Structure 1
Amino acid sequence: MKNQKRVIYHLIIVLTVAFLSLLPASLLGNKQASATDNSKRIKIVFWHEMTGPAQTQLNEFVKQFNKSQSKYQVVSQFEGTYEEAVQKILNTHGSNTSPAVFQSADISVSQLYHSGYITKVQKFIDKDKSFNVNDISSVARAFYSQKGELLGMPFNTSQPVLYYNASLLKKYNITPPPMNPSYSDITRVAKQLYQRSNKKVKGMTMEVYGWLFDQLIANSGNYSVNNQNGRLATPTKASFINSGSLKAMEWIQENVKSGDFINYGSGTNASANEMAAFLSGKLGIFMESSADIGQLTLGMKNQKLGVTYYPHADGQKANGVAIGGAALWISNDKSSEVQQGAWNFIKYLESAKNQATWQKATGYLALNKNSKKTKTLKNLYKKNPALKVPSEQLAKTVPNNSNSGIFVEGIVQERIILNTALDQIYNGSNIKSSLTQAEEAMNSYIKNNNRANGWRY
């Protein structure tokens, strides 16, 4: 009896399997169909460094791209910090574990260019008539270009801006700074706030951060290294001492002596402390990345946030500032078919719709010029006009070699060196002496790096 039941049971299983095999895949359930489809797709491994809301939105983009077509399957992997990720990229190149497409920061542009490990996205742009590269911000493109060719596609992008507590200024009857302020415009507001609050509110600060210093130089039309920031030829010397840097540091020291400037130092703690002071109403003005707008907006629910362009020296027009953030790069150690899939994914992320969604979700700037026409950004700017300011600054900037970033290996070292000089200057040391020491330290690094690579030094 038991054997008979067993035979009947197995017969039912066989008949069921046979019946299911005759059904179309669409009726078998999403999981089985998806598994079958994915096995036939070309795998595109994507390495990134996004966390929090940016990681969530990026994973959603990956999911949507995979659903939008049936040829490629993008697999996203988080790889740590920018510094950690670029080392993994360089160390795994040529192996089975390397990515097809990866995200890498502004500090690594020259390093990746000279590595020989990338396929320039310009190669795909030239062949793809469906993609108009002119829709992408010219300033962002200039940053990731060399010799007229786009190396990586700009993606998560920010710019330095100036933040002020508009509610505090109103409380003390202070006229806000103009949208494109000069140093004296900011000094006026900072001094008035400090004095009218009976010195309870510090007027301003600027973190000890080499990136912010370089941006002051860019906005003055000068260069941080020679050969026009390395855009004409390999840099051989730093040029921290110039009219732009001297005016900027004199401006900082003027405010330090007046007492309205507070120095929070450098690093993560400095950034956190200045943010906390600003949100608590103990600080009126600070300069930082536009990527902080989201956090500031959430933290100032009962106060009004003011945002302006990055300040410039009196008596001259602003030259414009460079971008920060990262780009998307294509590895050249993969087949042409895989590289094409990587390009298709990049192109998908750069659409007007997706760039608008990206800005709303993360605070990074939408790089597609047509994004401003979307309901997403129109509604976002209507709800919070301050969010529009960084985008307007980016759109109004005309790219040149001063504001297109520093094309030199060793940006991390440059910022460490500058942090030391800035800390000295903030504490009253001689500006030229401190910047001379910084130049000498950077020149030594550049010389050793150029020699190691067999370049002119």
Structure 2
Amino acid sequence: MTKLTNSLKRYWQVVGLAVIVILGFSVFGYARTQVHAASGRTKIVFWHEMKGPGQKQLNSFITAFNKSQTKYEVIPQFQGSYNAVIQKIMNTHGTTASPAVFQSMDISSSQMYHSGYTVPVQKFIDRDNYDISQISSVARGVATRNNKLLAMPFNTSQTTLFYNAGLLKKYGIKPLPVSPSYSDISRVSSQLYQKSNHKIKGMSVEAYSWLFEQFLSNANEEFANHHDGHVGIADKVKFTGPVAIESMKWLQGRVKAGDFMNYGNSKNEMAAFLSGKLGLFMQTSADTSLLIKGLGKDLGVTYYPHPDGVKPNGISVGGASMWIANDKSATVQEGAWQFIKFLVSAQTQAKWEKATGYLAINNKATQEPVLKQLYAKYPMTKIPGDQLKSAKANYTNSGIFVDGVVAARALIENAMQQIYAGKDVKQSLQTAENSYNKVLKSTNRANGHG
């Protein structure tokens, strides 16, 4: 009897303890819920991929937005790389873990569109009569389908040519024009290499597919059929067109001449440039701020080059756009739209360009004092933005609207490495083209397009 009594006593002690724990969690959960309810704000979870200065400035914008109104609270969540976030969106859509608004890179636009997981921002633009003409047409092009804007461009960049104006002055070399041809660049590269007694390499172009794509864009040559996928499902790519062959033969020619150096990656390339061992290179305009810190007013900047005798067509943008998920309530979607409008306002975009080097996509941003002061102090910082404004959006300078472009880029970069190593240009590009056409066929079939 004593054993039974003791057992019952222990049983009720355990049960009592469990009840206390459960009640404790319930009270905590209730209190936590009440805190959010008392704020009266709708939570807008925002997934992004910004690091360093970009993340710091983005957080500042989020704080400012949250303070500017009382309806919504944007909660930023860093998600790693551009590629990683795509898979996370695909895996979490329709669950409580998915975001309300997210950044997605330019070449994922087709995948996001075909996923059916997003609300086109055109819906809100039409409803509000929002003046979309204030946003760069080329920046909008990459996320436009059937004349409807799917997502709002945000952290936008373009490829830009950087040169060391101080070195050119030292060796008495005429600077590059604002919109240089291949011959203009060859002249400067060769002269710098020769006049420095081969101590300074004239030029470098990283084996990076984005740069290859821009050679095509600037000469109005398509990367894929159906106008780079903008008017249908692309089922063929062409890496062996006249401009592709010409641009790669030009670079291979500079390798053979000795004034070109393949540094393997952008980090090594930039280090050589900042240390005065490299005269010019081509990379994202988002590097402008960093390069100014290293070279100051000795930094030279031009538009991306074009073939001799060819009128520049303009180049597409890189970076990412802001997409609104369709698995959230209308209230949450509205909050996401209000946040997006805040991010692309003239004032916000002016601060963004100054802090990060990304291009201000709001055409009115150049009238903001912060950019006027920047351009007055460092006139070269205005050139990438001028390049963006100089082009009229068309299919070949509006990005590639094709699923699975990441695989294509790997093949192109391998081809570029082979070309730099002296392999046949046409054969190297043809191999990449054939390989990706097989991948694209499989991708389209898997997505129900083939």
Q: Alpha-carbon deviation of 1:43?
A: 1.0
1:447 aligned to 434, 441, 444, which one?
441
Q: Alpha-carbon deviation of 1:295?
A: 1.2
1:319 aligned to 313, 319, 325, which one?
313
Output one character per residue of 1:13-70: Cα deviation in whole Å (capped at 9) or x when no partner: xxxxxxxxxxxxxxxxxxxxx9678631111111111111111111111111111111
User: Does the 8 A contact of 1:38 with 1:73 survive in 2?
Assistant: no
User: Does the 8 A contact of 1:106 with 1:325 survive in 2?
Assistant: yes
Percent sequence identity is 55
* d(CA) in 2 for partners of 1:264, 1:187: 18
User: Does the 8 A contact of 1:193 with 1:284 survive in 2?
Assistant: yes
1:426 aligned to 400, 403, 420, which one?
420
User: Does the 8 A contact of 1:218 with 1:402 survive in 2?
Assistant: yes
Q: Alpha-carbon deviation of 1:453?
A: 1.4
Q: Specify the alignment match of 2:19 in structure 1.
A: none
Query: More deviation in 88-97 or 162-171?
Result: 88-97
Q: Specify the alignment match of 2:24 in structure 1.
A: none
Superposed counterparts of 1:339-378, under 5 Å: 339-378=333-372
Q: Alpha-carbon deviation of 1:389?
A: 0.5
Q: Specify the alignment match of 1:410 in structure 2.
A: 404
Shift in CA distance, 37/135, structure 1 to aligned 2, threshold 3 Å: farther
* d(CA) in 2 for partners of 1:77, 1:217: 36
* d(CA) in 1 for partners of 2:305, 2:176: 10
Superposed counterparts of 1:32-47, under 5 Å: 39-47=39-47
Superposed counterparts of 1:30-429, under 5 Å: 39-129=39-129, 131-265=130-264, 270-301=265-296, 304-429=298-423
User: Does the 8 A contact of 2:161 with 2:304 survive in 1?
Assistant: yes
Segments of 5+ residues of structure 2 without an aligned counterpart are 1-33
User: Does the 8 A contact of 2:48 with 2:79 survive in 1?
Assistant: yes
Task: Classify the secondary structure of the residue corresponding to 2:396.
Answer: coil
Output one character per residue of 1:384-428: Cα deviation in whole Å (capped at 9) or x when no partner: 111100000000011111110111111111110001111111111
Task: Classify the secondary structure of the residue corresponding to 2:376.
Answer: helix
Q: Alpha-carbon deviation of 1:107?
A: 2.2
* d(CA) in 2 for partners of 1:425, 1:228: 27
Task: Classify the secondary structure of the residue corresponding to 2:60.
Answer: helix
Query: More deviation in 38-47 or 238-247?
Result: 38-47
Q: Specify the alignment match of 2:6 in structure 1.
A: none
* d(CA) in 1 for partners of 2:113, 2:147: 13
Q: Alpha-carbon deviation of 1:361?
A: 1.0
Which amino acid letter does the alignment assign opposite residue 409 of structure 1?
D
* d(CA) in 2 for partners of 1:447, 1:143: 22
Task: Classify the secondary structure of the residue corresponding to 2:364.
Answer: helix
* d(CA) in 2 for partners of 1:242, 1:337: 49
Output one character per residue of 1:349-372: Cα deviation in whole Å (capped at 9) or x when no partner: 111000001111111000100001
Task: Classify the secondary structure of the residue corresponding to 2:397.
Answer: coil
Q: TM-score by structure 1 length?
A: 0.90
User: Does the 8 A contact of 1:109 with 1:144 survive in 2?
Assistant: yes
Which amino acid letter does the alignment assign opposite residue 336 of structure 2?
A
Which amino acid letter does the alignment assign opposite residue 179 of structure 2?
N
Which amino acid letter does the alignment assign opposite residue 277 of structure 1?
A
* d(CA) in 2 for partners of 1:86, 1:231: 20
User: Does the 8 A contact of 1:230 with 1:408 survive in 2?
Assistant: yes
* d(CA) in 2 for partners of 1:124, 1:219: 32
Q: TM-score by structure 2 length?
A: 0.91
Segments of 5+ residues of structure 1 without an aligned counterpart are 1-33
User: Does the 8 A contact of 2:107 with 2:399 survive in 1?
Assistant: no
* d(CA) in 1 for partners of 2:345, 2:400: 28
Q: Alpha-carbon deviation of 1:74?
A: 1.0
- Report the number of matched residues: 417
Q: Alpha-carbon deviation of 1:196?
A: 0.3
* d(CA) in 2 for partners of 1:103, 1:367: 16
Shift in CA distance, 37/298, structure 1 to aligned 2, threshold 3 Å: farther
> After TM superposition, what 4+ stretches of structure 1 lie above 2 angstroms from structure 2?
34-39
Which amino acid letter does the alignment assign opposite residue 89 of structure 1?
I
Which amino acid letter does the alignment assign opposite residue 454 of structure 1?
G
* d(CA) in 2 for partners of 1:178, 1:423: 29
Task: Classify the secondary structure of the residue corresponding to 1:394.
Answer: helix
* d(CA) in 2 for partners of 1:360, 1:353: 11
User: Does the 8 A contact of 2:66 with 2:74 survive in 1?
Assistant: yes
* d(CA) in 2 for partners of 1:162, 1:36: 49
Shift in CA distance, 38/281, structure 1 to aligned 2, threshold 3 Å: farther
